Amino acid sequence: MVRRAFIVAAGLALVLSLVAPSSAAPSADERARALEIYRHIVDIDSSVETYRVPEVADYLAGVFKDGGFSSDDIQVVRQGKTASLVVRYRGDGAGGRPILLMAHMDVVAAHRADWERDPFKLIEEKGFFFGRGTGDNKSGVAALTATFLTLRAEKFVPTRDLIIAFTGDEETQGLTATALVREHRALIDAEFALNSDGGGGQLNEAGTPVVYYLQTSEKTFASFKLTAHNSGGHSSTPRRDNAIYDIADVLGRVRGYAFPVMWNDTTIAAFRAAGPVTKGAIGRAMRRFAAHPGDARAARVLSSDPFHVGQVRTTCVATLLQGGHADNALPQSATATVNCRIFPGVSIASVQAKLQQLAGAKIEVAPLESNYIASDASPLRKDVVAAVSEAVHANYPGVPIVPSMSSGASDGVFYRAAGIPTYGVSEIFIKDSDDFSHGLNERVPVDVFYAGLTHWRVLLTRLAGRR
């Protein structure tokens, strides 16, 4: 259960008001080096269709070695056809146990015919960097890499080890993160982790920064396969029982079902803080829900919006569909995949049971994977709050920082489950209308990418530097 995710918004606002902006703008050389790294890795199709993640890992390993890091502190860990990269920036130990810094090198598949531009070519146009992975999550990979190189060149000695862990299959099975925590714990063991693939800032439609979300928890990811069987037959003699129709009927029931409204300390504090700066019906619903948790009218408004429905309930949606074996034969089987994002505190088994109830006895419902993992929220740390506040305000002074429960999933769930508190602290600020992660024409504002260098520099020097 998510119970201690964040302090009340009023107390947090007091903390943030004491944080002074920092000046850590990157030089022209630093920007050029970051762009070179960004361009190189975006230009590599590291989706599951190509198995080129090891190419990204090997390139980055060479960049770190050329930047002065010892080969002993650079580890490419192979995992089947993919890989992870672990780089240790050694400190003097005065500040305590290491900090883990997370990103992933793999991306969702993208096809040239579907995109306006080549998805695997970093293209700067109209104030954006376009390309698959520009946001999810190669901006984080490039920014963390460039920041390590800059700090090493400046002979910065952290007060604790800083460990980069770039994984290679976050978008699919998460086996690289699982292997790191289970089989290579000594490489990545840390007091806590900062995840570039979680949290982040929101711009309104005018391009003004309005809020920064510090992610303390994630919903559980689980996909289920629904299967209908039938004896089939000749299409010239149709019957009412039909595997494809049976699956279609079930999907209609899944579409029409809404899981119960839920909330926790993180979501209530987030609505309380974000409501006043969110315009229109969504902002009013946030304020009402924060004042009256579970309010049905507010929940309906929030549930009608794809960016907020996951904050008030478990969601399940059909994502894949297959059926039949010939155009002149009745189908002998049909299958559908339903992906669920499960609210903290709700068991995977109970969601499967609900899907089975909706499907009926004739339809098989089974999880696609046996290793889905749930985790509770990470406890709030004052040092993380202060550092994140300073990093955000270095670029966007005065922006409120609020707690966040992600409706998506990342490698953070594996680290939280392994006992490493994890905080989503992405460097990206973006409009809802420009957020095309996993979609067509993925993009990141050019100025936001470069501001990310300041973000990570301030974070790391604040948490692992002498003041």
The SS3 call for residue 200 is: strand
Between 267 and 232, the higher pLDDT residue: 232
d(CA 335, CA 244): 8
Q: What is the value of pTM for the model shown?
A: 0.81
Q: Mean pLDDT for the chain?
A: 92
% of the chain residues with pLDDT over 90: 81
pLDDT digits (tens, 9 = 90+) for 126-174: 999 999 999 999 999 999 999 999 999 999 999 999 999 999 999 998 9
Q: pLDDT grade, residue 391 (50/70/90)?
A: very high
CB atoms within 10 A of CB 334: 23
- pLDDT tens digits for range 423-449: 999 999 999 898 988 999 999 999 999
CA distances for 332 relative to 114, 226, 227, 368, angstroms: 32, 14, 11, 21
Domains of the chain in start order, with CATH, are 9-218+398-464 (3.40.630.10), 220-367 (3.30.70.360)
* Average pLDDT for 54-77: 98
pLDDT of residue 375: 80
pLDDT digits 0-9 by tens, 269-283: 889 888 988 889 999
Predicted local confidence at residue 466, as pLDDT = 82
- Looking up tokens 């500040």 gives 95
Categorize the per-residue pLDDT at 23 as very low, low, confident or very high, splitting at 50, 70 and 90.
low
**E strand residue ranges, 131-280:** 162-167, 192-195, 200-203, 209-218, 220-229, 233-234
The tens digit of pLDDT for each residue in 187-223 reads 999 999 999 999 999 999 999 999 899 998 888 889 9
pLDDT reading at 13 higher than 70? no
What are the beta bridge partners of residue 341? 221, 315
